[in-house]
Every structure is written in C-alpha cells, then in structure tokens.
Amino acid sequence: MSKKLRALLLPLVVLAMIAAACTSDTSDTTVADATTDDTQAPAAAAQTEGSTLQAVIDRGTLRCGVGGSAPGFSETQPDGSVTGLDADYCRAVAAAVLGDANAVEFVETTAAERFSVLSAGEIDVLMRNTTFTQTRDTTLGLDFGPTTYFDGQGLMGTAADGFTPESTLADIDGAVLCTNAGTTTEKNITEGAAVFGVTIELRTTEQFP
C-alpha cells in the first residue's frame, strides 16, 4: 500500500528562512532555519537565544529524524550511511546552517513515534514520509515546512484472491489488510471501509517506512 502525499516537517528552505529564525524566541520551537548566505547564518541565528536553530549551531550537528527503511527517501546502508531524498534534505539544511553537509546525526523514527520524538526535542527536524494535514498543523504545536513529495494511496492484493485492477473498496469485504500504525493511511482505509459498508480486519505494523 503506497503512502499518501509526503510532507516535510519544519521550515527547511534554504531561501528566505532567516526571518523566521530571528523572530522565534520560544524555548520549545521546532524550527530548523537556514539562510541564503552561509557566512552570515551563525551571526543571524545568534539573535534567537534558546531556539532550535541556535541549539543546532551550538552543538555543531543537526539531528535529523528519518524513516531509515524507505528506498529512495531514506535508507540506512550496511556501512551506516543514509541515502535518499529525505537524507539529502537533511544534508542541505546542515550545509546551510553549519556549512557542513556531513554534520548530520540521522535518527530513525517510526510513524507512530515521529511526532513525540520531535516534540521531546530528541531530533531537530523530521524528514520522513509524513502527511501534511490541517489537524496536525494546528494541534501538534509543530510547524510543517514545504511539501517535498506528492503521492496517493491504494490497495494491493493478489489475483488469486480475486482482486483485479478494476476492484474497488466495495470488493474488500472480509479482507485482512495491513498498513502502517499511526498514519493517515490507517485512518483513510478505516473510513473508506465504513463509507462502502464493508467489514475489514486491519493489522498495523511499525516496520514499514
């Protein structure tokens, strides 16, 4: 089952973000800001005492939350390196803020724990498949940055079980479905089944990206 549209938590854009850094002064802010001028980033950030940005600069590394098992987005290799689009965004922020694209500590997070890990300050930014929803944007006390990837949600079944490309939600009555725990994917399929009046058994796991 594919993930839905992916969102990048927290303002990460290398352009025009220094203004946010200079105006946010709360101790629990979760914004990792950057600037268009690498040489002036530390000086500008210093104006934001107690910010996440200042903490990153003082530490000298960016703690970036990723999925770690999503090929093409963030995948931890046998040698410990992390590859993919999300990982490269982490490096871009580190390069903009610290002047070193390799000054990144990658922290693998599951879908179920990603928001609590971010809120607790265990990571500075979250760069993993995370749907941008109005509820999340207004209730979590976190800031979504620009969307980096759009996709949809579908179901995958076997022909042996009678599923075809023309199958709809009305055809899944009695089916056992598996999806990520704590995601909008889980919410969508549950609500979709209710709309079509079908009964499903939904099993969730945190092992998927």
Q: Using one digit for the tens of pLDDT, what is the confidence trace for 67-118?
A: 998 899 999 999 999 999 999 999 999 999 999 999 999 999 988 899 999 9
Q: How many residues are present in the chain?
A: 209
Q: In the prediction, which pLDDT does 66 show?
A: 96
- The span from the CA of 43 to the CA of 66, in Å, is 28
Q: Which of 42-56, 129-143, 156-170 has the lowest mean pLDDT?
A: 42-56
Q: Are residues 132 and 81 in the same domain?
A: yes
CATH value at residue 88: 3.40.190.10
Domains: count for the chain: 2
Q: What is the 3-state secondary structure (H, E, C) of 45-84?
A: HCCCCCCHHHHHHHHCCEEEEECCEECCCEEECCCCCEEC
Q: Are residues 69 and 168 in the same domain?
A: no
Give the three-state DSSP class for 184: helix
Please give the average per-residue pLDDT across 180-188, as a whole number. 83
- The span from the CA of 111 to the CA of 103, in Å, is 24
Q: Could you list the residue range(s) of the whole structural domain that residue 115 is in? A: 18-139
Q: Is residue 146 part of a domain?
A: no
Q: Is residue 151 part of a domain?
A: no
Q: Are residues 91 and 167 in the same domain?
A: no
Q: In the prediction, which pLDDT does 28 show?
A: 33
- Give the sheet arrangement for strand 125-126, strand by strand: 104-108, 62-66, 125-126
Q: Are residues 126 and 164 in the same domain?
A: no
Q: Give the pairing of strands 74-76 and 69-70.
A: antiparallel
Q: Is residue 144 part of a domain?
A: no
Q: In the prediction, which pLDDT does 207 show?
A: 59
Q: Is residue 149 part of a domain?
A: no
Q: Are residues 39 and 129 in the same domain?
A: yes
Q: Are residues 135 and 180 in the same domain?
A: no
Q: Are residues 181 and 102 in the same domain?
A: no
Q: In the prediction, which pLDDT does 27 show?
A: 31
